[in-house]
Amino acid sequence: SQQGEEDPQALSIQEGENATMNCSYKTSINNLQWYRQNSGRGLVHLILIRSNEREKHSGRLRVTLDTSKKSSSLLITASRAADTASYFCATDAAGGSYIPTFGRGTSLIVHP
Amino acid sequence: EAGVAQSPRYKIIEKRQSVAFWCNPISGHATLYWYQQILGQGPKLLIQFQNNGVVDDSQLPKDRFSAERLKGVDSTLKIQPAKLEDSAVYLCASSLVFVTGSYNEQFFGPGTRLTVL
Protein backbone atom coordinates (compact mmCIF):
# COMPACT_ATOMS: atom_id res chain seq x y z
CA SER A 1 0.00 0.00 0.00
CA GLN A 2 1.15 3.55 -0.64
CA GLN A 3 -0.14 4.73 2.73
CA GLY A 4 2.31 6.94 4.58
CA GLU A 5 3.12 6.21 8.19
CA GLU A 6 3.60 9.09 10.61
CA ASP A 7 5.94 9.01 13.56
CA PRO A 8 5.48 9.58 16.44
CA GLN A 9 1.83 8.63 16.92
CA ALA A 10 1.54 11.21 19.69
CA LEU A 11 3.59 14.23 20.69
CA SER A 12 3.17 16.49 23.72
CA ILE A 13 5.16 19.73 24.03
CA GLN A 14 5.08 23.13 25.71
CA GLU A 15 4.09 26.30 23.94
CA GLY A 16 7.09 27.90 22.27
CA GLU A 17 8.88 24.62 21.61
CA ASN A 18 9.36 23.15 18.15
CA ALA A 19 7.44 20.08 17.02
CA THR A 20 8.78 17.62 14.47
CA MET A 21 6.73 14.89 12.84
CA ASN A 22 7.96 12.34 10.35
CA CYS A 23 6.32 10.44 7.53
CA SER A 24 7.61 7.39 5.70
CA TYR A 25 6.15 5.84 2.58
CA LYS A 26 6.83 2.80 0.43
CA THR A 27 6.79 3.60 -3.28
CA SER A 28 7.71 6.50 -5.53
CA ILE A 29 5.43 9.50 -5.34
CA ASN A 30 4.33 12.51 -7.35
CA ASN A 31 3.58 14.70 -4.36
CA LEU A 32 3.46 14.59 -0.59
CA GLN A 33 1.06 16.74 1.38
CA TRP A 34 0.62 17.57 5.03
CA TYR A 35 -2.82 18.20 6.52
CA ARG A 36 -4.03 19.33 9.93
CA GLN A 37 -7.24 18.14 11.54
CA ASN A 38 -8.88 19.39 14.67
CA SER A 39 -12.38 18.91 15.95
CA GLY A 40 -13.49 22.41 15.15
CA ARG A 41 -12.18 22.95 11.63
CA GLY A 42 -12.03 19.59 9.94
CA LEU A 43 -9.18 18.64 7.61
CA VAL A 44 -7.10 21.55 6.35
CA HIS A 45 -4.38 21.40 3.71
CA LEU A 46 -1.10 22.83 5.02
CA ILE A 47 1.55 22.34 2.39
CA LEU A 48 2.39 20.30 -0.70
CA ILE A 49 5.89 19.28 -1.70
CA ARG A 50 6.58 17.76 -5.10
CA SER A 51 8.89 14.82 -5.63
CA ASN A 52 11.56 17.04 -7.22
CA GLU A 53 11.61 19.44 -4.27
CA ARG A 54 13.61 19.00 -1.09
CA GLU A 55 12.32 21.69 1.23
CA LYS A 56 9.39 24.10 1.48
CA HIS A 57 8.42 26.74 3.98
CA SER A 58 5.08 28.26 4.86
CA GLY A 59 5.02 30.60 7.84
CA ARG A 60 6.09 28.58 10.87
CA LEU A 61 6.00 25.33 8.90
CA ARG A 62 8.98 23.70 7.28
CA VAL A 63 8.65 20.51 5.26
CA THR A 64 11.50 18.41 3.96
CA LEU A 65 11.40 15.52 1.56
CA ASP A 66 14.05 12.84 1.08
CA THR A 67 12.98 10.65 -1.82
CA SER A 68 16.03 8.39 -1.42
CA LYS A 69 14.83 7.48 2.07
CA LYS A 70 11.15 7.78 1.15
CA SER A 71 10.53 10.06 4.07
CA SER A 72 9.34 13.55 4.91
CA SER A 73 9.32 15.68 8.01
CA LEU A 74 7.10 18.52 9.17
CA LEU A 75 8.60 21.04 11.57
CA ILE A 76 6.38 23.51 13.40
CA THR A 77 8.48 26.21 15.00
CA ALA A 78 7.51 28.23 18.07
CA SER A 79 4.40 26.13 18.62
CA ARG A 80 1.19 27.59 19.99
CA ALA A 81 -1.72 26.02 21.86
CA ALA A 82 -3.77 26.53 18.69
CA ASP A 83 -1.45 24.09 16.88
CA THR A 84 -2.98 21.28 18.93
CA ALA A 85 -4.40 18.91 16.31
CA SER A 86 -3.74 15.71 14.39
CA TYR A 87 -1.33 16.00 11.49
CA PHE A 88 -1.50 13.69 8.49
CA CYS A 89 0.81 13.12 5.59
CA ALA A 90 -0.78 12.10 2.31
CA THR A 91 1.01 10.75 -0.74
CA ASP A 92 -0.04 10.09 -4.29
CA ALA A 93 1.80 7.34 -6.07
CA ALA A 94 3.88 8.06 -9.15
CA GLY A 95 1.92 7.06 -12.23
CA GLY A 96 -1.27 7.00 -10.21
CA SER A 97 -4.41 9.08 -10.06
CA TYR A 98 -3.07 11.96 -7.92
CA ILE A 99 -5.63 11.07 -5.26
CA PRO A 100 -3.85 11.33 -1.89
CA THR A 101 -3.58 8.33 0.41
CA PHE A 102 -3.46 9.31 4.06
CA GLY A 103 -1.43 7.90 6.93
CA ARG A 104 -2.74 7.37 10.47
CA GLY A 105 -1.54 10.74 11.71
CA THR A 106 0.39 12.25 14.59
CA SER A 107 -1.59 13.67 17.49
CA LEU A 108 0.08 16.87 18.70
CA ILE A 109 -0.78 18.50 22.01
CA VAL A 110 0.72 21.90 22.78
CA HIS A 111 0.40 22.88 26.42
CA PRO A 112 -0.01 26.60 27.16
CA GLU B 1 -15.95 32.07 -0.14
CA ALA B 2 -18.20 29.47 1.50
CA GLY B 3 -16.57 26.13 2.19
CA VAL B 4 -17.83 22.60 1.74
CA ALA B 5 -21.02 22.08 3.71
CA GLN B 6 -22.09 18.79 5.22
CA SER B 7 -25.09 17.67 7.21
CA PRO B 8 -25.89 16.34 9.64
CA ARG B 9 -22.81 16.89 11.79
CA TYR B 10 -23.65 13.97 14.06
CA LYS B 11 -25.82 10.90 13.67
CA ILE B 12 -26.49 7.98 15.98
CA ILE B 13 -28.33 4.94 14.65
CA GLU B 14 -28.74 1.29 15.48
CA LYS B 15 -27.23 -1.43 13.34
CA ARG B 16 -29.30 -2.49 10.37
CA GLN B 17 -30.86 0.97 10.11
CA SER B 18 -30.31 3.25 7.13
CA VAL B 19 -28.62 6.64 7.11
CA ALA B 20 -27.90 9.34 4.55
CA PHE B 21 -25.36 12.15 4.50
CA TRP B 22 -25.51 15.28 2.41
CA CYS B 23 -22.71 17.37 0.94
CA ASN B 24 -22.72 20.71 -0.85
CA PRO B 25 -19.34 21.43 -2.46
CA ILE B 26 -17.73 24.79 -3.03
CA SER B 27 -19.54 26.63 -5.80
CA GLY B 28 -18.04 25.87 -9.17
CA HIS B 29 -16.10 22.81 -8.05
CA ALA B 30 -16.57 20.02 -10.54
CA THR B 31 -15.05 17.20 -8.54
CA LEU B 32 -16.46 15.79 -5.32
CA TYR B 33 -15.02 13.12 -3.04
CA TRP B 34 -16.40 11.09 -0.13
CA TYR B 35 -13.96 9.75 2.47
CA GLN B 36 -14.43 7.48 5.47
CA GLN B 37 -12.26 8.14 8.52
CA ILE B 38 -12.33 5.52 11.24
CA LEU B 39 -11.15 6.64 14.68
CA GLY B 40 -7.37 6.60 14.89
CA GLN B 41 -6.88 6.33 11.14
CA GLY B 42 -6.50 8.65 8.20
CA PRO B 43 -9.28 9.30 5.69
CA LYS B 44 -9.91 6.61 3.08
CA LEU B 45 -11.42 7.50 -0.28
CA LEU B 46 -14.82 5.90 -0.92
CA ILE B 47 -15.91 7.52 -4.16
CA GLN B 48 -14.96 10.34 -6.52
CA PHE B 49 -17.36 12.18 -8.84
CA GLN B 50 -16.47 14.39 -11.78
CA ASN B 51 -19.60 16.50 -12.34
CA ASN B 52 -22.32 13.85 -12.00
CA GLY B 53 -20.26 10.92 -13.25
CA VAL B 54 -18.34 8.43 -11.09
CA VAL B 55 -14.56 8.48 -11.63
CA ASP B 56 -13.52 5.98 -8.94
CA ASP B 57 -15.67 3.90 -6.60
CA SER B 58 -13.30 0.97 -6.21
CA GLN B 59 -13.24 1.23 -2.40
CA LEU B 60 -16.97 1.75 -1.92
CA PRO B 61 -18.66 -1.29 -0.28
CA LYS B 62 -21.38 -1.43 -2.87
CA ASP B 63 -23.45 -4.04 -1.07
CA ARG B 64 -24.45 -1.43 1.51
CA PHE B 65 -23.09 1.95 0.42
CA SER B 66 -24.41 4.08 -2.40
CA ALA B 67 -23.76 7.62 -3.52
CA GLU B 68 -25.16 9.94 -6.09
CA ARG B 69 -24.51 13.42 -7.37
CA LEU B 70 -27.52 14.54 -9.28
CA LYS B 71 -27.10 17.64 -11.46
CA GLY B 72 -23.37 17.64 -10.68
CA VAL B 73 -23.64 19.75 -7.53
CA ASP B 74 -24.88 18.31 -4.21
CA SER B 75 -24.20 14.73 -3.28
CA THR B 76 -25.67 12.18 -0.91
CA LEU B 77 -23.99 9.12 0.57
CA LYS B 78 -26.24 6.39 1.90
CA ILE B 79 -25.59 3.33 4.04
CA GLN B 80 -28.23 0.62 4.08
CA PRO B 81 -28.12 -1.39 6.30
CA ALA B 82 -25.51 -0.01 8.68
CA LYS B 83 -23.05 -2.20 10.55
CA LEU B 84 -21.13 -1.49 13.74
CA GLU B 85 -17.89 -1.13 11.75
CA ASP B 86 -19.41 1.76 9.77
CA SER B 87 -18.95 4.01 12.80
CA ALA B 88 -16.66 6.73 11.48
CA VAL B 89 -16.46 10.31 10.33
CA TYR B 90 -17.60 10.75 6.73
CA LEU B 91 -15.79 13.57 5.01
CA CYS B 92 -16.78 15.28 1.81
CA ALA B 93 -14.23 17.20 -0.24
CA SER B 94 -14.29 19.08 -3.50
CA SER B 95 -11.78 20.37 -6.02
CA LEU B 96 -12.15 22.89 -8.81
CA VAL B 97 -11.45 20.44 -11.59
CA PHE B 98 -9.86 17.06 -11.93
CA VAL B 99 -7.05 17.04 -14.43
CA THR B 100 -5.57 13.63 -15.13
CA GLY B 101 -1.86 13.63 -14.43
CA SER B 102 -1.98 16.72 -12.27
CA TYR B 103 -2.44 17.68 -8.64
CA ASN B 104 -5.91 18.92 -7.72
CA GLU B 105 -6.18 20.67 -4.34
CA GLN B 106 -9.02 19.30 -2.26
CA PHE B 107 -11.06 21.31 0.22
CA PHE B 108 -12.71 19.33 3.00
CA GLY B 109 -15.98 19.80 4.82
CA PRO B 110 -16.34 19.42 8.61
CA GLY B 111 -17.55 15.84 8.32
CA THR B 112 -20.46 13.82 9.70
CA ARG B 113 -19.69 11.69 12.75
CA LEU B 114 -21.70 8.46 12.56
CA THR B 115 -22.12 6.17 15.55
CA VAL B 116 -23.72 2.77 14.94
CA LEU B 117 -24.96 1.06 18.10
- Give me the residue from A31, A42, A103 closest to B111, CB to CB: A42
The continuous run of DSSP H or E covering B21 comes out as strand B19-24
Look at residues A7, A51, A44 and name the one whose alpha carbon lies nearest to residue B43: A44
- Give me the residue from A30, A99, A101 closest to B48, CB to CB: A99
Q: Which residues of B touch A90 (CB under 8 A)?
A: 42
Around Cβ B83, how many Cβ atoms within 10 Å?
Answer: 12
What percentage of chain B reaches a pLDDT higher than 70?
Answer: 94
Instruction: Please tell me the predicted confidence (pLDDT) of residue A40.
Output: 65
CB contact under 8 A, B103 and A30: yes
Contact B35, B45 (CB under 8 A): yes
Tell me the pLDDT band of B99, cut-offs 50, 70 and 90. low
User: How many CB pairs (< 8 A) connect A and B?
Assistant: 47
Query: What letter would DSSP give residue A5?
Result: E
Instruction: Please tell me the predicted confidence (pLDDT) of residue B83.
Output: 97
Instruction: Please tell me the predicted confidence (pLDDT) of residue A5.
Output: 86
Would the CA dihedral through A71, A72, A73, A74 be positive or negative? negative
Q: Is A92 on the interface with B (CB under 8 A)?
A: yes
Query: Is the pLDDT score of B44 beyond 70?
Result: yes
Burial class (CB in 10 A: 0-12, 13-18, 19+), A95: exposed
Nearest-5° Cα angle at B9, A47 to B6:
60
Tell me the pLDDT band of A1, cut-offs 50, 70 and 90. very low
State pLDDT tens for residues B49-74.
Answer: 988 899 889 999 999 999 999 888 99
